[in-house]
Every structure is written in structure tokens, then in C-alpha cells.
Structure 1
Amino acid sequence: MKNKIIKYINSLETEKEIKILLACETGSRAWGFPSPDSDYDVRIIYKHNKEWYLSLNEEKDSITVFYEDNEIDISGWDIRKSLRLMKKSNAPLLERIQSPTLYKGDQEFIKEINDIAKANYSRIATIHHYLNLAKKKYEEISFESEYKLKSFFYALRSATACLWILEKEEIPPIEFPKMLEGLELQESLVMRINELIEVKAKVSESYRHKGEKELFEYMQNCIERAEIEGKNLPTTYGCMDELNVFFRKVID
């Protein structure tokens, strides 16, 4: 599958007349809890030639394509849009630049954009994303006797990311196991989460699960803390001058 994805990425470059600066895996395969039939969520950051940015008309700055009967989803943003989102500490962008699975990437670019992400990181902006996602997914499953394990992990990871943001100043890691390792959680909770990761690795995306009272209580506590304490996190604004310098360097 990796070879297929690289082939599609290379053909996309030619077809769209772009240069892909980063192509990586996101979603459950990058988060660390895939199912055997999980889709491939490939995300890219790309650039056009310099003249493209000098037009008075702002052209479309995103790409979305599907391959292999929608099993492979490739989408992403132009570098200018990406850096505008960086200023806002956009959580999906902060995740993809950390991805452990790279299909294509300029190593210097990846290092520099991660450094810029750290310098422009806003805890209050990022917790807003994870809190909304945690609440939405938690509400979807909390009143069901059986629920999709996939939805459970979406809620669990988002709630844990909220806890990370409250307790640490670093950007939350994209990999869920690293998030768990970096927090001081009850050993029994971590052990059970790891057991469920092993379960999810063997069942389909449609598998329905039940129980896990302790983990539901843990998620609820994370959400409640984030709603109260998240409002008091420091407000941070991205440095547009630094982002502009990097943007000009990338497209030059």
C-alpha cells in the first residue's frame, strides 16, 4: 500500500503542477490505534511556483482526491494556507507535521516548520479544538449500551489531549501512546487502554463495544477540567513576521 500511495502522490504533483513538501499518514494509523480495515488518511503540504502567489486572484488553496475505492484519501493545503493556520495553532496541522509515517518530505522543511510550530503554539487555541471534538464524540457514545470502538477512541484521545494541554506546555504528540506515557495517569487506566488498542487492532471499524465505566469517568473528568481550566490558559498570538520570512524562503 505504501508504494501505491507514493505513486499517487507523485502523479498528483505532475497533474496539479505542485511540489509536495510533506506527505504523511494521519488518522488512526498515525495515532497508534488502527483497525485492520482502517482507511489511509494521507495529508500533504505543498507549494506552487512563485508566480502563482503573485496573482491578484487567490486560487484554490486545497486539494482532496480519493483512490482505491475511497480507501486512500489524499488531501492537504498549500503552504500559504498552512502557515495562516499555523498562526492560529490549528490542531490538525500540528498533528500532521509530527506524523511518524512519511511518504514524502523535505527534511529541512519538516524540521523548520516544527520549530515554527513550537514558537507559535497557543494552548488555548489548541484545547478549543480537542475539547469540542471530545465533547462531540463523548456525547455520541455515552448513552449507548454498545458503541463503536472507533468512536470511543476518538473521544478518549481527544479528552487525553485536553489533559495534556492543561498540564504541559508542549504541543500534544500525534501518537496516542506517547501522550499516555507523558502524563501521570493511573496505571490501571493505561493498562486497560493498551488492552483496548490490541482489541481494536484485530476487529473491523464497525465493531461495537460495551462497558469501560472507568474510562468513561476519566473522559468526563478530562472534559470538565478542560471546560473550567481551559478558559484561563494564556492567550498567545502567532508571529506573522516569522511566518512571512519562512513563507518567502519556501516559495523562493
Structure 2
Amino acid sequence: MKERILKSLMKIEEDYHVKILYAVESGSRAWDFPSKDSDYDVRFIYVHRMEDYLAIDQMGIGKKRDVIELPINNLLDITGWELTKALRLFRKSNPPLMEWLHSGIVYYQAFSTIEQMKELSEEIFSPNTCLHHYLNMASDNFRKYLQGDEVNIKKYFNVLRPVLAAQWIEKYNQFPPLEFPQLLESLIPAGELKTEIKMLLKRKMSGEKPALEPKIDIIVDFLNEEILRLSDYTRTINVNSPDCTPKLDHIFKKTLKEVWS
């Protein structure tokens, strides 16, 4: 599958006249709980030619798109962000982009851009931004999927993962690892709750066809209580992140020279 992904990335470079700097897995495979039928969610960062940036309209305005998206099939979902878009989002500690930088499954990496970004990631990391992102995700999914008397077993993880990610930020003041088993082992003590979650995880990864089942009260109650508690916690923190724009400008300019000189 990696060979197929790399061929798709090479074709993107040819078709769009860009250079890809970084490509990773971002979905359930990166979270270390894929099902047997899980697709591949490939995300990448790319840079245009120098002359494409020498215009009065920046990338993302008018016809100058700052996203490349391939048609999704039943196995492969490939989407990329242009470098200046990625750096602007990075400046705001954008959680999806931060997840790309922390992915343990790297399909491709070239040039020094990503290493430079990773060196800045601790300085740029905003616990407020990331906590709000994960809590909003958890709250929305809790309302969508866990309100009825019956629940699809896969939907628990749409709430568990962001809740544990938020707990990690609270506990360690760091961006959380993507791998769900690591979050589970680090944050949930031994007991009935952990046992129930592990059983669900095993069933999910076995490829068992998802079905509606009576909700598991101990998991639903835990999630509800944590969402409320963490929401209160977010109101107590106020961290001002430094302005790293000059450093990000430097990364952009250096990348252009490195890639196209």
C-alpha cells in the first residue's frame, strides 16, 4: 500500500507542479486502532514553485487554491495543504496540523522544513487552543452518538480519543500522542472502566461488523463527567503563545531556496 501511496504523491507533484515535503497517515491507523476495513487517510504538505508566490494574490485567493484533494475511493483519502497555509495554521497551534507532525506513520519526508517545524512545536503549542478543539469534538460526538439507549460500538472512540487527548494536555501540558493505546494506558487506571474500553478496542480492531448495542453506562458516564470537568478546567487557563511569525517566515523562505535552487 505504501508504494501505491508514493506513486499517488509523485503524480500529484507532476500534475500540480509542486514539491511534496511531508506525507503521513492521519486516521485510525495513526491512532493505532484501525479496523480491518479501515481506509488510508493520507495528509501532506507541499510547496509551489518560487514564481507562483510572486504575485499580488496569495495562495488561497481566487483560483490559487491552497489545498489539493484527490477523489476519495473506498481505500484511499489523500489531501494536502500548501506550505504557507500550513505555516499560518501552525502559528495558531492548529490541532489537525499538530497531529500530522506527531504521526508515527510517515510515508514521505524531504528537505528540512518539517524538522524545523518540529523544533518550534513546543514553543508554538497552545494548550488552550488544543483543549478547546478536543473538547468541542468530544462534546459534539457525545451529543450525536451516545444519547440513545443503543450505541454503535465504534462511536465510543469518537468521544474517548478526544477526551483522553484533552486529559493528556491537562496532565502533561504537552501535545498528546496520537496512539490511543498509549493514552489509555497512561491515563485510565486499572479497573472496570479500563477493562470495558479494552474489550471494545479489541472488538473494533477485530473487524467485527459494527452494530447497535445497549449503551455501556460506565463509559458513557465517565465521558459525560470528564467533558463537564475539562470544560470547567479550560476556563482556568490563560496562556499567551509567543509570536513566531518571523521564524515561520524564515522556514518558508529557506524552503523555497532549498527546494527550487
Q: TM-score, structure 2 length as denominator?
A: 0.89
Alignment match of 2:189 (pick from 186, 189, 202): 186
Cα RMSD after superposing both structures: 1.8
Paired residues for 1:23-102 under 5 Å: 23-58=23-58, 59-66=64-71, 69-102=73-106
Residue equivalent to 1:250: 255
In the aligned structure 2, how far is the partner of 1:105 from the partner of 1:2?
A: 13
Residue equivalent to 1:153: 157
Larger of the two Rg values belongs to structure: 2
Pair 1:204–1:20, CA change in 2 (3 A):
farther
Q: TM-score, structure 1 length as denominator?
A: 0.92
CA deviation after TM superposition for structure 1 residue 218, in Å: 1.8
In the aligned structure 2, how far is the partner of 1:110 from the partner of 1:242?
A: 13
Asked if the contact 1:25–1:102 (Cα under 8 Å) also holds between the matched residues in 2, the reply is yes
Residue equivalent to 2:108: 104
Paired residues for 1:120-159 under 5 Å: 120-159=124-163
Residue identity matched to 1:45: I
CA deviation after TM superposition for structure 1 residue 136, in Å: 0.6
In the aligned structure 1, how far is the partner of 2:91 from the partner of 2:221?
A: 34
Residue equivalent to 1:239: 244
Gaps of 5+ in 2: 59-63
1:167 maps onto 2:171 in alignment: yes
Asked if the contact 1:38–1:205 (Cα under 8 Å) also holds between the matched residues in 2, the reply is no
Asked if the contact 2:49–2:256 (Cα under 8 Å) also holds between the matched residues in 1, the reply is yes
Number of residue pairs matched? 250
Gaps of 5+ in 1: none
Deviates more, 1:119-128 or 1:144-153: 144-153
Task: Quote the sequence identity (%).
Answer: 34
What SS does the aligned partner of 1:31 have?
coil
Residue identity matched to 2:110: D
Residue identity matched to 2:217: K
CA deviation after TM superposition for structure 1 residue 43, in Å: 0.3
Poorly superposed stretches of 4+, deviation over 4 Å: none
In the aligned structure 2, how far is the partner of 1:177 from the partner of 1:193?
A: 10
Asked if the contact 2:163–2:226 (Cα under 8 Å) also holds between the matched residues in 1, the reply is yes
Pair 1:205–1:246, CA change in 2 (3 A):
farther
CA deviation after TM superposition for structure 1 residue 157, in Å: 0.4
Pair 1:46–1:32, CA change in 2 (3 A):
same
